Amino acid sequence: MGNLLNELLINGTSPYHVGKFIRETLNATCGFQILDMTSPWQLEAGGNYVIDLGSTMIAFRLPKDRKGMLPREEEGAPCIRITASHTDYPGFRIKSDPDMTEGSYVTLDTEVYGGPIDSSWLDRPLGVAGLVTVAGEDAFSVKEVLYDSGRALLTIPNLAIHMDRETNQGKTFNRQTQLIPLFTASEDEESFTEFLASDLGVESDEILSWDLCVYNADQPMRIGRDYEMLSSPRIDNLSSVAACLSAMIREDEAVSLEISAFFNHEEIGSTTKEGANSQLLSHVITRIYDSLGFSGEEADRSIYDGFLLSVDVAHAFHPNYKEKADPKNRPVMNKGFAIKEAFSQSYATDPVSIGIVKGICHREDIRYQSYFNRSDIPGGHTLGVYVTSHLPMRAVDIGLPILAMHSARELCGMDDYLSMEDLIREFYRG
């Protein structure tokens, strides 16, 4: 397993920790300079930069030759090349004032985030991680503190089969009453907020708010006869984040404007200020071209010449549920990454863009597969649809074929991850 992917799966316990990992990796390997959206920019050709919004990160590399950022007179490689992935995953968030006491048990009031497979979260060792805000010197100077319990702190116990004889015949769960994690069975009356304050080394009344994820504390593991599969929490979508990040820290120089956007909130629709369905990336591109002295007309032309790789997981063919897959376009694990298509445009892919991606794969001998949803099972939207609604450019949705998508623990093939990583690197290089 690639060290970068393994480290991210372990340490990316919340979108904020994914952001921290991205920032530290970019800085440690290539010295990416951090930019602030509220400050003036002074960019230099050949420079590496990252916009740090906590749980959303946008990294970009500039070519030394400014001409590489403008459309070529003859048809050729795009002058803006973007990859987009997301930092969040389905699960649970802890509400404010969460303590619920019954006898000596204390459970925590939570909200389901995104679309998890509820039953997969039962009887797991669960940690807590995310962002905590702490009082600062004045009301507009709130301190942001990252928190990770660093250990299994919670669990959601299943009900014994003796008390529910029909549990194996299919069961739904009440998300307000039956999927609530157990925090302690102690007689101690310390609240969750007091526990959190103690862990952070602050007073409990200094804590103002939080965005805390309940995460699966299981570790990644290689499985299969030949160790060819990876079983891990958060493969969706930290596998894509790792592949895009790997391309950003390669050694060769940029030949165009290279952008990798790592968005939060994909699992809840992307329509937030830091989500893919916002003006954020458009503003970043405008700022880049303005800072380097290009005209607005030149920036607009470059956007239309651009190319987006929207990178998210795809559904692998499931051997136990053959009827759920398209009869022909059904990727299997370890046969290559998936090119995702939908004539409904729920994926942003179009024929010309597919041809370009396949051309790169044929040239570099990279394995790929085709994915369509079954015609009677609609799929969801992707980052690509949202990004290109704000930035009209060519786009392809690609992804790692996985099983158990949105489970607390997912499964993929390692060869597919490597093929996806190779494609993204060559996409930037060519």
Query: What is the overall mean pLDDT for the chain?
Result: 96
pLDDT per residue over 224-274, tens digit each? 999 999 999 999 999 999 999 999 999 999 999 999 999 999 999 999 999
242 and 321 housed in the same domain: yes
- What CATH number corresponds to the domain at position 186? 2.30.250.10
Residues 206 and 302 in one domain: no
In a domain? residue 228: no
Which one of 181, 215, 249 terminates a domain? 215
Residue 19 pLDDT level (bands cut at 50, 70, 90): very high
At 2, the pLDDT band (50, 70, 90 cuts) reads low
Query: How much is the pTM?
Result: 0.97
Asked if the model's pLDDT at residue 55 lies above 80, the reply is: yes
With a cut of 60, say whether residue 140 has pLDDT above it. yes
Residue 140: CB partners within 8 Å, gap ≥ 6? Answer: none
One domain for residues 39 and 125: no
Is 144's pLDDT higher than 90?
A: yes
Which one, of 209, 384, 226, 216, lies nearest residue 314 by Cα? 384
Q: Domain end: 187, 215, 243, which one?
A: 215
Same domain, 205 and 129: yes
Based on the domain organization, do 293 and 308 belong to the same domain?
Answer: yes
Residue 161 lies in a domain: yes
Say yes or no: 209 and 237 in one domain: no
Residue 1 has pLDDT above 80, yes or no: no
Examine residue 227 and state whether it is found in any structural domain, yes or no: no
What integer pLDDT is reported at residue 430 of this predicted model?
A: 78
Mind giving me the DSSP string for 264-319? S-GGGTS-STTSSSSSHHHHHHHHHHHHTT--HHHHHHHHHT-EEEEE--EEPPPT
Q: Are residues 211 and 290 in the same domain?
A: no
Instruction: Clarify whether residues 110 and 133 are in a common domain.
Output: yes
**199 and 169 inside one domain:** yes
pLDDT digits (tens, 9 = 90+) for 183-240: 999 878 899 999 999 999 999 999 999 999 999 999 999 999 999 999 999 999 999 9
Cβ 397 vs Cβ 384: under 8 Å: yes
Q: Which domain holds residue 285?
A: 3-89+233-429
Are residues 189 and 123 both part of a single domain?
yes
Residue 150 falls inside a structural domain: yes
> For residue 221, is it within any domain?
no
Share of residues in the chain with pLDDT > 90 (%): 91
Residue 225 domain flag: no
pLDDT (mean) for 330-336: 98
Say if CB 117 and CB 406 are below 8 A apart: yes
* pLDDT-above-70 percentage for the chain: 100
CATH classification of the domain holding 347:
3.40.630.10
Segment 373-382, tens digit of pLDDT = 999 988 778 9
Q: How far is CA 62 from the centre of its chain?
A: 24
State mean pLDDT over 37-41: 96
- 226 assigned to some structural domain: no
**Ranges 19-23, 99-103, 124-128, 309-313: which has the least confidence:** 99-103
Are residues 398 and 268 part of one domain?
yes
Choosing from 215, 245, 273, the residue where a domain stops is: 215
352 and 377: one domain? Answer: yes
Does 105 fall in a domain?
yes
Split into its structural domains, the chain has a count of 2
Spatial distance between the Cα atoms of 166 and 94, rounded to a whole number of angstroms: 30
